[in-house]
């Protein structure tokens, strides 16, 4: 889907989500420990510009091997549940600038933990064909118990009787994150990779690097 074909109304965007949702692949074919992981994030300014950043890290050692940015105007209004339609055009443009095809995409957001089970990680995975999952800072849908305080503890995130993600403690005694599968990776695998990407901090290193890069691109 090219930007010129991008939905411009809520009704059009909902129709796209309904159409693409059936293309999500829930079977896991992502390597247990992929050679690289690619994080994605966006930053906004007060004038309606969006800066997208993608950062590829070596999974072993978590060192940066490649990073790209793309700055653009927002092409879709602010609408809860439809953030992907604001963020995907610059994210896809930044991804196209990478020299190496990502092994797996780690989104600052959600996958199946979405009212229509088609959050940013699902949408990005379907459009690129790459394994993708989301690690959200806050809950968007569902309810859950509190995970135990120890690092690695998790509980199901449940919405309308369906397990749509996991509430995962990445640091002992620190607020958990919300992990959900997006495309070509299952939830348990996404949680294991999230723990591998959080050796010192609450958020994955992929998100931390992409966040800094996207903010810098707006200056």
Handedness of CA 202, 104, 130, 188 (dihedral sign): negative
Phi and psi at residue 151, to the nearest 5°: -55, 135
Q: Per-residue pLDDT averaged across 46-50, rounded?
A: 84
Least confident of 45-49, 67-71, 96-100, 135-139: 45-49
108 in a known ligand binding site: yes
Q: How far apart are CA 106 and CA 190, in angstroms?
A: 9
41 in a known ligand binding site: yes
The CATH number linked to 139 is 3.30.2170.10
For residue 48, the model assigns a pLDDT of 78
pLDDT at 168 over 90: yes
Give the range of the structural domain holding residue 104, as residue numbers without chain letter.
3-217
13-29: per-residue pLDDT in tens? 999 999 999 999 989 99
For residue 1, the model assigns a pLDDT of 40
Beta strands in 45-92 (DSSP E): 49-58, 64-73
pLDDT at 91 over 70: yes
Share of the chain above pLDDT 90, in %: 84
Q: Looking at the 3D structure of the chain, how many domains does it have?
A: 1
């Amino acid at each position: 889907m090219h930007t010129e074909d991008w939905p411009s109304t809520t009704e059009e965007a909902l129709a796209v989500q309904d159409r693409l949702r059936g293309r999500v692949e829930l079977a896991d074919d992502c390597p247990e420990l992929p050679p690289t992981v690619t994080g994605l994030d966006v930053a906004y300014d007060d004038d309606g510009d969006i800066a997208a950043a993608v950062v590829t890290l070596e999974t072993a050692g978590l060192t940066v091997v490649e990073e790209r940015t793309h700055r653009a105007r927002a092409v879709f209004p602010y609408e809860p549940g439809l953030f992907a339609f604001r963020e995907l055009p610059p994210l896809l443009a930044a991804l196209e600038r990478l020299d190496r095809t990502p092994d797996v995409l780690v989104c600052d957001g959600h996958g199946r933990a979405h009212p229509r089970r088609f959050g940013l990680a699902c949408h990005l995975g379907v459009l690129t064909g790459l394994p993708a999952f989301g690690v959200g800072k806050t809950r968007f849908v569902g309810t859950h118990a509190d995970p135990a305080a120890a690092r690695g503890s998790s509980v199901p995130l449940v919405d309308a009787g369906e397990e749509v993600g996991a509430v995962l403690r990445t640091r002992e005694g620190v607020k958990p994150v919300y992990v959900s599968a997006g495309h070509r990776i299952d939830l348990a695998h996404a949680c294991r990779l999230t723990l591998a990407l959080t050796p010192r901090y609450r958020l994955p290193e992929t998100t931390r690097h992409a966040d800094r890069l996207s903010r810098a691109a707006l200056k």
